[in-house]
Amino acid sequence: MAFTYEQVRDFLNKEARYLDDRDFEAWVELYDKNIQFWVPSWDDDGELTRDPQKEVSLMFYAHRDGLEDRVFRIRTERSTASTPNHRTSHNLSNIEIVESDEDSCLVRFNWITFTCRYKITDHFFGTSKYRLIKGANGEMRIKEKTVVLKNDCIHQVLDIYHI
Protein backbone atom coordinates (compact mmCIF):
# COMPACT_ATOMS: atom_id res chain seq x y z
CA MET A 1 0.00 0.00 0.00
CA ALA A 2 1.40 3.40 -0.99
CA PHE A 3 1.66 6.35 1.37
CA THR A 4 -1.32 8.70 1.36
CA TYR A 5 -1.19 12.43 1.93
CA GLU A 6 -3.38 12.08 5.02
CA GLN A 7 -1.10 9.43 6.57
CA VAL A 8 1.99 11.54 5.92
CA ARG A 9 0.35 14.72 7.27
CA ASP A 10 -0.83 12.95 10.42
CA PHE A 11 2.62 11.41 10.96
CA LEU A 12 4.37 14.79 10.63
CA ASN A 13 1.87 16.40 12.99
CA LYS A 14 2.46 13.60 15.50
CA GLU A 15 6.21 14.23 15.39
CA ALA A 16 5.60 17.96 16.00
CA ARG A 17 3.23 17.18 18.88
CA TYR A 18 5.77 14.89 20.55
CA LEU A 19 8.36 17.68 20.42
CA ASP A 20 5.93 20.30 21.74
CA ASP A 21 4.81 17.95 24.53
CA ARG A 22 8.47 17.10 25.30
CA ASP A 23 7.68 13.42 24.80
CA PHE A 24 11.17 12.77 23.46
CA GLU A 25 11.03 9.03 24.07
CA ALA A 26 8.00 8.68 21.75
CA TRP A 27 9.60 11.14 19.32
CA VAL A 28 12.81 9.14 18.92
CA GLU A 29 10.77 5.97 18.27
CA LEU A 30 9.54 7.58 15.04
CA TYR A 31 13.05 7.20 13.63
CA ASP A 32 14.60 4.20 11.90
CA LYS A 33 17.71 2.78 13.61
CA ASN A 34 19.79 3.83 10.58
CA ILE A 35 18.48 7.38 10.36
CA GLN A 36 20.54 10.13 8.80
CA PHE A 37 19.51 13.34 10.59
CA TRP A 38 21.21 16.37 9.05
CA VAL A 39 20.97 20.13 9.38
CA PRO A 40 23.44 21.61 6.88
CA SER A 41 24.94 25.02 7.50
CA TRP A 42 25.27 27.99 5.17
CA ASP A 43 28.77 28.70 3.88
CA ASP A 44 30.31 32.17 3.39
CA ASP A 45 28.86 32.38 -0.12
CA GLY A 46 25.29 31.73 1.05
CA GLU A 47 25.29 28.14 -0.23
CA LEU A 48 24.32 25.10 1.82
CA THR A 49 27.06 22.67 2.76
CA ARG A 50 26.70 19.41 0.82
CA ASP A 51 28.60 16.75 2.73
CA PRO A 52 28.08 16.24 6.46
CA GLN A 53 31.20 14.05 6.61
CA LYS A 54 33.50 16.75 5.19
CA GLU A 55 31.86 20.12 5.89
CA VAL A 56 30.44 21.91 8.91
CA SER A 57 26.84 21.12 9.83
CA LEU A 58 24.54 22.66 12.41
CA MET A 59 23.59 19.09 13.42
CA PHE A 60 24.41 15.65 12.12
CA TYR A 61 23.49 12.21 13.46
CA ALA A 62 24.44 9.22 11.32
CA HIS A 63 22.36 6.80 13.45
CA ARG A 64 19.48 6.89 15.89
CA ASP A 65 21.94 6.24 18.74
CA GLY A 66 22.98 9.89 18.50
CA LEU A 67 19.39 11.06 18.87
CA GLU A 68 18.87 8.70 21.80
CA ASP A 69 21.97 10.13 23.47
CA ARG A 70 20.67 13.66 22.91
CA VAL A 71 17.33 12.74 24.55
CA PHE A 72 19.21 11.15 27.47
CA ARG A 73 21.25 14.34 27.99
CA ILE A 74 18.09 16.51 27.90
CA ARG A 75 16.23 14.23 30.34
CA THR A 76 19.10 13.96 32.83
CA GLU A 77 19.78 17.72 32.78
CA ARG A 78 23.25 17.10 31.33
CA SER A 79 22.43 19.65 28.67
CA THR A 80 22.83 23.18 29.97
CA ALA A 81 21.41 24.45 26.67
CA SER A 82 18.12 22.70 27.55
CA THR A 83 17.87 23.84 31.16
CA PRO A 84 15.44 25.36 31.89
CA ASN A 85 13.07 23.78 29.40
CA HIS A 86 12.06 25.52 26.21
CA ARG A 87 8.36 25.80 25.41
CA THR A 88 7.80 25.23 21.71
CA SER A 89 5.06 25.34 19.11
CA HIS A 90 5.79 23.62 15.78
CA ASN A 91 3.70 24.71 12.80
CA LEU A 92 3.86 22.85 9.48
CA SER A 93 2.71 23.94 6.04
CA ASN A 94 3.04 23.15 2.34
CA ILE A 95 3.30 19.40 2.95
CA GLU A 96 4.06 17.69 -0.33
CA ILE A 97 4.76 14.09 -1.27
CA VAL A 98 7.53 14.53 -3.85
CA GLU A 99 7.83 10.86 -4.77
CA SER A 100 6.36 7.65 -3.47
CA ASP A 101 6.34 3.90 -4.03
CA GLU A 102 5.18 0.93 -1.97
CA ASP A 103 8.11 1.04 0.46
CA SER A 104 9.06 4.69 0.90
CA CYS A 105 8.21 8.27 0.11
CA LEU A 106 10.04 11.58 -0.05
CA VAL A 107 8.22 14.41 1.73
CA ARG A 108 8.95 18.13 1.66
CA PHE A 109 7.36 20.77 3.87
CA ASN A 110 7.90 24.18 5.44
CA TRP A 111 7.85 24.80 9.16
CA ILE A 112 8.15 27.47 11.79
CA THR A 113 8.85 26.82 15.45
CA PHE A 114 8.13 29.39 18.12
CA THR A 115 10.10 28.96 21.32
CA CYS A 116 9.96 30.64 24.72
CA ARG A 117 12.60 30.52 27.45
CA TYR A 118 13.70 33.07 30.05
CA LYS A 119 10.63 35.19 29.11
CA ILE A 120 12.03 35.62 25.58
CA THR A 121 10.12 34.43 22.53
CA ASP A 122 12.09 33.47 19.45
CA HIS A 123 11.42 31.60 16.23
CA PHE A 124 13.13 29.27 13.81
CA PHE A 125 11.90 28.54 10.29
CA GLY A 126 12.88 26.48 7.30
CA THR A 127 12.20 23.61 4.95
CA SER A 128 12.52 19.89 5.66
CA LYS A 129 12.82 16.81 3.49
CA TYR A 130 12.10 13.39 4.97
CA ARG A 131 12.46 9.93 3.50
CA LEU A 132 9.71 7.90 5.19
CA ILE A 133 9.70 4.11 5.14
CA LYS A 134 7.40 1.42 6.45
CA GLY A 135 8.76 -0.36 9.51
CA ALA A 136 8.55 -4.07 10.28
CA ASN A 137 4.98 -3.74 11.57
CA GLY A 138 3.87 -1.42 8.77
CA GLU A 139 4.27 1.73 10.88
CA MET A 140 5.91 4.78 9.34
CA ARG A 141 9.51 5.58 10.26
CA ILE A 142 11.82 8.43 9.33
CA LYS A 143 14.81 7.05 7.41
CA GLU A 144 16.39 10.36 6.34
CA LYS A 145 15.76 13.85 7.66
CA THR A 146 17.32 16.97 6.19
CA VAL A 147 16.37 20.27 7.76
CA VAL A 148 17.32 23.56 6.11
CA LEU A 149 17.25 26.28 8.76
CA LYS A 150 16.63 29.61 7.04
CA ASN A 151 17.26 31.95 9.97
CA ASP A 152 20.21 34.27 9.32
CA CYS A 153 21.16 34.60 12.97
CA ILE A 154 20.73 32.12 15.77
CA HIS A 155 20.75 33.74 19.21
CA GLN A 156 20.97 30.52 21.19
CA VAL A 157 22.15 26.94 20.94
CA LEU A 158 20.12 25.02 18.36
CA ASP A 159 18.64 21.73 19.56
CA ILE A 160 16.38 18.94 18.30
CA TYR A 161 13.18 20.55 19.62
CA HIS A 162 13.81 23.84 17.76
CA ILE A 163 13.47 22.30 14.32
Q: Where are the domains of the chain?
A: 5-162
pLDDT in the model for residue 10? 97
pLDDT in the model for residue 8? 97
**DSSP-derived secondary structure letter, 162:** G
Q: Which residues does 130 contact at the CB level (< 8 Å), separation at least 6?
A: 12, 106, 107, 142, 143, 144, 145, 146
What residue type is 63 in one-letter code?
A: H
- Overall CATH class of domain 5-162: alpha beta
pLDDT in the model for residue 77? 67
pLDDT along the chain (163 residues), means of 10: 90 97 96 95 87 91 93 76 75 97 95 88 93 90 96 78 83
pLDDT in the model for residue 90? 96
First to last CA, the chain: 30
pLDDT in the model for residue 80? 56
Q: Is the peptide bond before 40 cis (omega within 30 degrees of 0)?
A: no
pLDDT in the model for residue 2? 82
Q: What is the pTM of this model?
A: 0.91
